[in-house]
Structure 1
Amino acid sequence: MSDSKENTSSHPLSTTECYEWSRMHGEPLGTANFKSELSDFVVEETLRFELSGEGAHHFLYIEKQNINTDIVVQKLIRFAEVKPTDVGYAGKKDRFAITRQWFSVQLPLLREIDWSEFNDDEVKVLEVTRHDKKLRIGAVKSNHFDIRLRDLNISQEDFKKRLDKIIEEGFPNYFGEQRFGNRGANLTRGIDLLIKNKKLKNRNLQGLLFSAVRSYLYNHVVSERINKGLSAKLLQGDFVMLSGSEKGFVVEDISAEQPRFIENDILLTAPLAGSRPQPMHEALSFEAECLSEYQVLIEKLANKRFNEERRALKCFPKNVTSEWHNETEVSLSFDLPKGAFATSMLRELVTLVEHKPVKGMTNNEHD
């Protein structure tokens, strides 16, 4: 066991090699500058439930620029003079972007706040309503993206062909690089915590670090399945997920499920590692082989009471449109389900050269 620990802890998970996941549609067509301006990456969140308009929880649809979701939470706590547990949100959004997402703040029923006074150079309240329950992580239905790619060195015809293929066949549902932290720091720390059986006082941070490890293992299995030509093939015992749902089942009769698989009514999945693996037979053997060198990490996750969860192997963008502004600039608009990363779709098109804007920059471009 000691040798396994040493091998696992020395594995180069924190290097750039850990981001070289297999692509589904071939090598990138070229390069593109990404996030040259804040307005080059715009995200709008849609919740999976309707707001009642009544209750103690003030729901705020907030536009933020060049700050992360946690900073908005801290601003709300200070402004409304509430406890951290009184503030909720459904998911974290990119810092280097213009994002619009919901937050909830619980207040006494008779207390009123002029939320317009919360606005500053970084945040703006676009809509206010009420609801009877706090906003919880995972309550997102979908995210809408408006993205501009600049300085492309590929033809519009080739771009369209690849984009059409992605729309029809989907793209690998990889967790994006941001999940692993700056230069893989979250991944490295998460592995260290597991191997050395450490605990952090900050449970939220600890959960984030463990999530980075599970995300890496998921990406690894997806990459291996693509690499071995199995991303469009059912294996005996595959755990598949119903399209548009988080529910699924084990495939016992491939021939009976093949028509639904071809129509993308059911989707292949890959594991978020933990105890109680869900696939069986051939599919279970395949995943076990993929993860054989990481068994120590999986055992440690199981000891932390993580049960295996499943995530769809592919993602299909919806409502996709593109508009070329000139020969080297294109805007993409599309919807992705919750948890999907726009960068995982874009990497199937081009190699992204990211130019993050500096703090406090102005941006008056509106398209």
Structure 2
Amino acid sequence: MLPDWPRAQGAPLVSGLLKAQPEDFVVEEVFDLEFSDDGEFDWLWIEKRGDNTEYVAKQLARMAGVQPRAVTYSGQKDRHAVTRQWFCVHLPGKHKPEWSVPENETWQILRQGRHRQKLRLGSHRYNRFILRLSDLDGDLTDLDARLQVISEGFPNYFGEQRFGHGGGNIDACRQWFTGQLTPGRFDRGMYLSAARSLIFNTVLAERIKAGNWNTGLNGDMFSLRDSGSVFLADIDAEISTRLASGDIHPSGPLYGKAGKLEVSADVAQLEDKVYAEFSDLCAGLMKNNLTMERRALRVIPKDLQWQQLDDRSLSLAFSLPRGCFATALVRELINY
């Protein structure tokens, strides 16, 4: 089981349902794209319901008669949702196929075009979300106050979907690291991501408990808003002003071999304690040659809007940088 990591505003006063049906969770990639009308790559704008991204990629490979590795996408999307995202199929020396999706499938091609460039992982900048929270029960007056605070930033936790059902990806990762499991390439990547995410979430939880997750701590590396670039700086008046304005955020570790991205002082002491708690996962990550990266501890939603639909449901619309989880926002608002 996964820990119930602390919320920035404390436990929500309202409970409800998220994803009562796929249409309650709509996510769409925000992508700047111009087709070249030639090239070796077919780009397909696909809407899916109830399917994961990897499943659709495999179906496209089968339809095009290519190996699965010839199909790429920018990011994994939720299965229990309505999602719209780009897929790319490498077709060197081949005519553009007649893409015909079987009627019994729960995904469809909305748009397509030819391009000279391959779609690479992490190419899109944002995801746009439209959510419906239903069966709300509790002090609904608390929602507006929480959303006002959330609009200025919320903890950038990895969502529970990163860890598999009941944290199963962490269990499988430990079995792999101890030689009890031999996963394939896709599963290996999933388990490594889950291990790094668990360590990051634990560091963020400790920072929330200490009250410095969004204000900085001695030895912090700071992340530029929405860019991923990080830098080391002492906390002075300028840094404090930039933190308060949301221009920069404190960062946490995506564990791996140390390089240029090294924290110091109080931050290093806190993170070292977490590494000791998960020494088995850290050793396995090192063995797999991952390099240390940093991730912002805070994320500020873009264009956050909300509307009370009736006395038991609420709609939310917002955009988040790629890699950030809508469920991390929702858990600050309600218990679901």
TM range (shorter): over 0.9
**Is 1:73 aligned to residue 57 of structure 2?**
yes
Distance 1:290 1:19 in 2: 14
* Residues 118/137 of structure 1: CA separation in 2 closer, same or farther (3 Å cut): farther
Match of 1:316 in 2: 300
2:106 is aligned, of 122, 136, 139, to 122
Q: 1:160 aligns with which of 134, 144, 165?
A: 144
Which shows bigger deviation, 131-140 or 307-316?
131-140
The one-character-per-residue Cα deviations of 1:164-222 (angstroms, maximum 9, x if unpaired) are 11002x1111111111111211101112222x257736122112112111110100000
Q: Does 1:148 align with 2:141?
A: no
Q: Residue 173 of structure 1 corresponds to which residue in structure 2?
A: 156
2:83 matches 1:99: yes
1:249 paired with 2:231, answer yes
Give the deviation of 1:66 after TM superposition. Answer: 0.8
SS in structure 1 opposite 2:29?
A: strand
Cα shift at 1:44: 0.6
Select the residue among 233, 256, 281 that pairs with 2:265. Answer: 281
**1:26 has 2:19 as partner:** no
1:191 maps to: 174
Q: Distance in 2 between matches of 1:202 and 1:314?
A: 33
| Structure 1 contact 19–177 (Cα < 8 Å) conserved | no
- Cα deviation, 1:106-129, whole Å, max 9, x if unaligned, reads 224550222245665411111111
Q: Is the 8 A contact 2:77 2:83 kept in 1?
A: yes
Match in the other structure for 1:338? 322
Is the counterpart of residue 299 in structure 1 residue 283 in structure 2? Answer: yes
Cα deviations across residues 300-339 of structure 1 (Å, max 9, x unaligned)? 3222211111111011111111122211111111111101
CA-to-aligned-CA distance 1:49-101 (integer Å, 9 cap, x gap): 55444311010000011111111011111111111121111111111111111
- The answer to whether the 8 Å contact 1:51/1:130 transfers is yes
Which of residues 221, 233, 239 in structure 1 aligns to 2:215? 233
Q: Does 1:265 align with 2:247?
A: yes
Query: Which amino acid in structure 1 is aligned with residue 123 of structure 2?
Result: A
Alpha-carbon spacing, 1:189–1:258, altered in 2? closer, same or farther (3 Å): same
8 A contact 1:240–1:251 mirrored in 2 = yes
CA contact (8 A) 1:235 1:282 kept: yes
- Return the TM-score normalized by structure 1: 0.86
1:214 to 196, 219, 237: 196
Within 2, Cα distance between the matches of 1:25 and 1:214? Answer: 25
Q: 1:57 — aligned with what?
A: 41
Judging changes above 3 Å, is the alpha-carbon distance between structure 1 residues 249 and 199 closer, same or farther for their aligned structure 2 residues? farther
Q: Shift in Å at residue 252 of structure 1?
A: 3.1
Which residue does the alignment assign to 1:139?
A: 123
Contact 2:217 2:235 in 1 (8 A): no
Q: Which runs of 4+ in 1 moved over 4 A?
A: 48-51, 116-120
Code of the aligned partner of 1:294:
F
DSSP 3-state at the match of 1:151: strand
Partners of 1:161 and 1:236 in 2: CA distance:
31
- Could you tell me which amino acid in structure 1 is paired with residue 173 of structure 2? G
Query: How far apart, CA to CA, are the structure 1 residues paired with 2:276 and 2:191?
Result: 21
What amino acid sits opposite 1:75 in the alignment? Q
Q: Distance in 1 between matches of 2:194 and 2:94?
A: 42
AA partner of residue 123 (structure 1)? W
C-alpha distance in 1, partners of 2:88/2:110? 13
The percentage of counterpart residues that share the same residue type is 37
Secondary structure of the residue aligned to 1:102 is strand
1:5-44 matches, within 5 Å, as: 15=1, 18-44=2-28
Letter in 2 for 1:70: E
CA 1:240–1:58 in structure 2 vs 1: closer, same or farther (change >3 Å)?
same
- The match for 2:72 among 88, 91, 99 is 88
In structure 2, do the counterparts of structure 1 residues 281 and 51 end up closer, same or farther at CA, with 3 Å as the change threshold?
farther
Q: Kindly report the root-mean-square deviation, in angstroms, between the aligned alpha carbons of the 2 structures.
A: 1.9
| Contact in 1 for aligned 2:47/2:85 (Cα 8 Å) | yes
